Amino acid sequence: MNEDKAAARARTRRRQLADLHVLRYVPGDSPVHRSWAGTKILAIIVVSIGLLLWPTWYAAGLAAAVVAAGFLLARLPSGIAPRVPAFLWALVVVGAVLALVAGGRPVVHLGRFSFGIGGLLVWVRFSVIGIEVLGLAALVSWTTPLYELAPALGRLGAPLRRLHLPLDEVVGAVALGIRCLPLLLEEGRVLAAARRTRRPERLRGTEERLRALEEILFAALSSALRRARELAEAIEARGGVASPPPDTHPVGALDAALIGTCGLAVVAMALLR
């Protein structure tokens, strides 16, 4: 009996480690924590534009240096990195196999066989670029409180008010979506835990796994619609979506240094393309 309980606790710990935590603030006093949220948003935009315009290995290396420097400055604990679920590794393997089948230059000769690895190299390069962009986004989410994002977006988009665009409404919707995303993720974890409690046996065969995935998707959709209706009723009762508070965070030399570093990296991407 004790062995069964210990095994159940071990499975629970493994599931918790496998969770993809997003938008989870990790308190700290590093230069990245102290910088303005708008600076970090601009850094992601600048580096992403550089990678979009010049998706080369040189650009990927420069972006990797920027991401590594950001994590070193942030001084985040090592346990913050989530464990990648098994299905994501399976998707990675499938993508690599399909890219290898596509062929392309250069060609590798192994005895009588020849393999074109050009498609695989392109797939690896774009996968690395995607991981770097996700790393920047994770760095921002771990070093920035949620309540600072909406005011920073409103401050960054202030020039758009001259064009008579509904900036406050857009920023309010973005802020609402950011705050609701962790709620939806937690709701999904609760639904998955409830299903494991109801049907604790292991799934066997592809058909059973697909049926279980279908049940979870329909339950998640029903729960999301219910939550959305309750949230809409609560917002309507309070007079609509509230405008985010004005951003008063000071912008100083630290923010200029961070943006300047990202700008120099993008210039180097353009020169080394």
**pLDDT tens digits, 199-246:** 655 656 667 767 777 777 787 788 778 888 888 888 788 777 666 777
Would the pLDDT of 87 be above 80?
Answer: no
Higher pLDDT pick, 209 / 76: 76
User: For the CA atoms of 230, 213, 88, 64, what is the dihedral angle to 10 degrees?
Assistant: -10
**pLDDT at residue 204, as a whole number:** 64
The whole-angstrom separation of Cα 237 and Cα 229 is 12
The answer to whether the beta carbons of residues 22 and 189 sit under 8 Å apart is no
Let me know if residue 176 belongs to a domain.
Answer: yes
**16-20, 127-131, 190-194, 248-252, range with greatest mean pLDDT:** 127-131
SS3 198: helix
The answer to whether position 95 is within a domain reads yes
Q: Could you tell me if residue 9 is inside a domain?
A: no
Tell me the pLDDT of the chain averaged across its residues.
Answer: 80
Residue 142 lies in a domain: yes
The answer to the question of residue 23 being in a domain is yes
Higher pLDDT: 248 or 7? It is 248
Domain with 90, as residue range(s), is: 18-271
Give the pLDDT score at 18: 43
What's the sign of the alpha-carbon dihedral 259, 265, 268, 272? negative
Task: Please count the structural domains in the chain.
Answer: 1
Q: Is residue 10 part of a domain?
A: no
Look-up of token digits 């046996």:
201
Task: Report the distance separating Cα 99 and Cα 259, nearest Å.
Answer: 36
The burial of 244, by beta-carbon neighbours within 10 Å (0-12 exposed, 13-18 middle, 19 or more buried), is given as: buried
Digit-coded pLDDT (tens) for 126-176: 999 999 999 999 899 899 888 888 888 888 888 877 887 777 777 877 777
What is the chain's length? Answer: 273
- The tokens of 48 are what? 């992403």
In a domain, 249, yes or no: yes
Kindly give, in sequence order, each residue whose CB lies less than 8 Å from that of residue 96, ignoring residues fewer than 6 positions away: 120, 123, 124
Domain assignment present for residue 8? The answer is no
